[in-house]
Structures are given as structure tokens and as C-alpha cells.
């Protein structure tokens, strides 16, 4: 059936936040295609999730060269959707990709060299049927390539018209400060940083957020639900069809011990007191205070996207609620 976007997609509860000091607005909830959109997944389910996300006002779709599995297949699937469904809406969409992890054999198939980044972006554009991406990221810092070369390549892509903005992912506070300085000198400022951030992973609070604020750089948090830990999925047992139960899953079943499950249950109770699901409260917590531009969710079904967007109905926390959450995370809650 031909896709026609919901005419009321901008009249719902989606919020659009300014990315750092740039002119770009991102939805508070963005959709990542890390899992469940690859060659091993059901195309019909992926199409349903992408359509529903856009109908709910999610305008930002985040990919990378290696997303799948197999690597590249998520971009190929999205490229098919661009041709069949989203071509009329391209100018309403923010599409990002990245390069940095392993993609092909030989010395030019990963990390941060100009050679690899250039080849990878060209491949991504072909797979996605795009003339340009809105944001292109260095997916991870390269310990062996000069940062000037990596950031210089990103600057080149903007000048070539292959990307509108540039970003970095998983860079430390110190590495970020250096990258921002290099990019400013080149004349193409870094728009955004994509770090992991959740109640269970808070390293960005130890300096990185300050660097971003000082330099007017936005942030988009990946794994805000700790790969599903901060949902009701693992309150009791590990479901057989869950990511933790799969050998290839990034979330290891051993991580879900009795202490973690006790914290999840206590957080779930706190969320219920707020009239939210655990996932909704966890997303609201990441977005609290406005320091994070957007929370990057993953999904395996349409209902998860619908539930997560409802987190935007309540992003405010009282001092008592924040203290309660800190107590739970510290293992002090009864």
C-alpha cells in the first residue's frame, strides 16, 4: 500500500530541541536502526516501525555503515524505504550515518583515516539512495590516526556537499575538546556528540557534558534504556526472545544479576508513582534539564515506539523524585 504520512504528525506531543548553538532542531526522541532493521530481520516490521515513527513526529533516523546484521543491510533497507515511502518527505527528515568500526578486509576498512571515512560515506550514500546525509559522524576515536586527519575528512564532506553537519561519537571529554578546536579552525563546527547515556551508564556527567555546553555542541544519547534493562522486560526472568538471551546480542544475560533486577524493580515502582512505565521514566530522566538534545531509542515493534514517545508527556522531576532515583541506583533503597 502506498504510504502517505499522517497529516497531524507535527500536532502531537513531539518536542523539537535546538542542537547546541546551531540552527538545527532535533526531535526529543529519535529512532536508531542499530538492531531490527538488518538483513536478518523482517522487512515488513521494519517498514511499519519507520512509518509509525515518522507519523508520530520522529524526524531523525540514525544509522551507521555497520548496522545490520549483516553490516550495511540496515542502510540498504532504509534506502529501499527512501525510494518507496519517504522520497516525498526527504526535506522533513534528518538522516545520519557513521563510520569507524570494521566494515571490510584490509588496512582501509575501519577506524578514522581519510581513506576509510571517504570510502565508507560514499558506500552509505549509495545504499541509502541519498545525495547527502544530514549528519555524518566519526563513530569512535582512532588511537593511531591524527585527530586532524579524521576531523579534516569530516570537514571535507561538508564542503563536498555529502553531509550538512558533522558529529563525533564516544569521544572522551578531552578528545571532544580537541576535536571541537580543530573543527572550529577548519570552519566546520562539530554539531553534535553521540555518547552512551542512561541511569546505568553516566560517564558523560564527568566532564563531557561541560565541554559540550561550553562549546555549544548538542548531544544525542544512545542506549538510554540500557539495551532494554530499563524497561519492564527483565523485571522477573530473561525472556527467551530478548536480546540478552541471544548469543549475538550486545546485552549479556550475565549482566542481569539479582542486584540489578532489584534496582530495576525499585525504579519500576518509582515510575509507577509518576504515572509512567519504567521506559518512559528512563527516557524522561535522560532528557531532564535540557542538557541532552535527543534520546536515541531502538525498537523491535511499533508499540515500543508509541510507548516511548509518551515519555514526553512528563519530563519534569521533583527534587524528591531525583533523590529517590539516586538512592535506588546507589543500592540504598529498600
Q: Is the pLDDT of residue 273 over 90?
A: yes
Residue 155: helix, strand or coil by DSSP? Answer: helix
Q: Spell out the residues 6+ positions from residue 44 whose beta carbon is closer than 8 angstroms to its own.
A: none
Quick one: which of 135, 125, 145, 154 has its CA closest to 93? 135
Burial 101-136 (b: 16+ CB within 10 A, else e): bebeeeeeebbbbeebbbbbbebbbebbbbebbbbb
Segments making up each domain of the chain, as ranges: 16-227+287-314
- 219-269 pLDDT, tens digit per residue, is 999 999 999 999 998 887 666 655 555 545 555 566 788 899 999 999 999
User: d(Cα 51, Cα 281) in Å, to the nearest integer?
Assistant: 25
User: d(Cα 263, Cα 162) in Å, to the nearest integer?
Assistant: 45
Question: 136 pairs with which residues across the strands?
Answer: 97, 166
- Altogether, the residues listed in the chain come to a count of 334
Q: Is the pLDDT of residue 332 over 50?
A: yes
DSSP string, 175-207: HHHHHHHHHHHHT--EEEEE-B-BTTB-GGGTT
- 290-316 pLDDT, tens digit per residue, is 999 999 999 999 999 999 999 999 999
- 114-130 pLDDT, tens digit per residue, is 999 999 999 999 999 99
CA dihedral 86, 101, 132, 149 (to 10 degrees): 170
Average pLDDT of the chain, as a whole number? 95
Angle at 239 between CA 202 and CA 77, to 5 degrees: 75
Q: Classify domain 16-227+287-314 at the CATH superfamily level.
A: NADP-dependent oxidoreductase domain (3.20.20.100)
Helix H or strand E encompassing 115: helix 114-128
Residue 213: helix, strand or coil by DSSP? Answer: helix
User: d(Cα 142, Cα 147) in Å, to the nearest integer?
Assistant: 8
* Percentage above 70 pLDDT, the chain: 94
pLDDT at 199: 98
8 phi, psi to nearest 5 deg:
-100, 20
Quick one: which of 208, 209, 158, 151 has its CA closest to 181? 151
- 133-187 pLDDT, tens digit per residue, is 999 999 999 999 999 999 999 999 999 999 999 999 999 999 999 999 999 999 9
pLDDT at 247: 45
Amino acid at each position: 500500500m502506498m504510504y502517505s504520512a499522517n497529516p497531524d504528525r507535527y500536532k502531537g506531543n513531539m518536542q523539537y530541541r535546538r542542537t547546541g548553538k546551531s540552527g538545527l532542531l532535533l526531535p526529543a526522541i529519535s529512532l536508531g536502526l542499530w538492531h531490527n532493521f538488518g538483513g536478518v530481520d523482517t522487512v515488513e516490521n521494519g517498514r511499519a516501525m519507520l512509518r509509525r515513527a515518522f507519523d508520530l513526529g520522529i524526524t531523525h533516523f540514525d544509522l551507521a555503515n555497520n548496522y545490520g546484521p549483516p553490516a550495511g543491510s540496515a542502510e540498504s533497507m532504509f534506502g529501499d524505504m527512501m525510494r518507496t515511502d519517504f522520497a516525498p518527505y526527504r526535506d522533513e527528515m534528518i538522516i545520519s550515518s557513521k563510520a569507524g568500526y570494521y566494515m571490510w578486509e584490509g588496512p582501509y576498512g575501519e577506524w578514522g583515516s581519510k581513506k576509510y571515512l571517504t570510502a565508507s560515506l560514499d558506500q552509505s550514500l549509495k545504499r541509502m539512495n541519498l545525495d547527502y546525509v544530514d549528519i555524518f559522524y566519526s563513530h569512535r576515536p582512532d588511537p593511531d590516526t591524527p585527530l586532524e586527519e579524521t576531523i579534516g575528512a569530516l570537514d571535507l564532506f561538508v564542503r563536498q556537499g555529502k553531509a550538512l553537519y558533522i558529529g563525533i561519537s564516544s569521544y572522551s571529554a578531552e578528545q571532544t575538546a580537541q576535536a571541537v578546536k580543530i573543527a572550529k579552525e577548519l570552519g566546520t563546527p562539530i554539531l553534535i556528540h553521540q555518547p552512551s547515556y542512561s541511569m546505568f551508564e553516566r560517564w558523560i556527567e564527568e566532564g563531557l557534558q561541560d565541554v559540550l555546553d561550553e562549546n555549544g555542541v548538542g548531544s544525542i544519547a544512545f542506549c538510554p534504556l540500557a539495551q532494554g534493562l530499563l524497561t519492564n522486560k527483565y523485571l522477573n526472568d530473561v525472556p527467551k526472545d530478548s536480546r540478552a538471551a541471544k548469543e549475538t546480542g550486545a546485552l549479556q544475560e550475565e549482566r542481569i544479576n539479582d542486584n540489578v533486577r532489584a534496582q530495576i524493580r525499585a525504579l519500576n515502582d518509582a515510575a509507577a508513582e509518576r504515572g509512567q512505565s519504567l521506559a518512559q521514566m528512563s527516557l524522561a530522566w535522560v532528557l531532564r534539564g535540557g542538557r541532552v538534545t535527543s534520546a536515541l531509542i531502538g525498537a523491535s515493534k511499533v508499540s515500543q515506539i508509541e510507548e516511548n514517545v509518551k515519555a514526553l508527556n512528563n519530563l519534569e522531576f521533583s527534587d524528591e523524585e531525583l533523590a529517590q532515583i539516586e538512592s535506588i541506583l546507589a543500592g540504598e533503597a529498600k
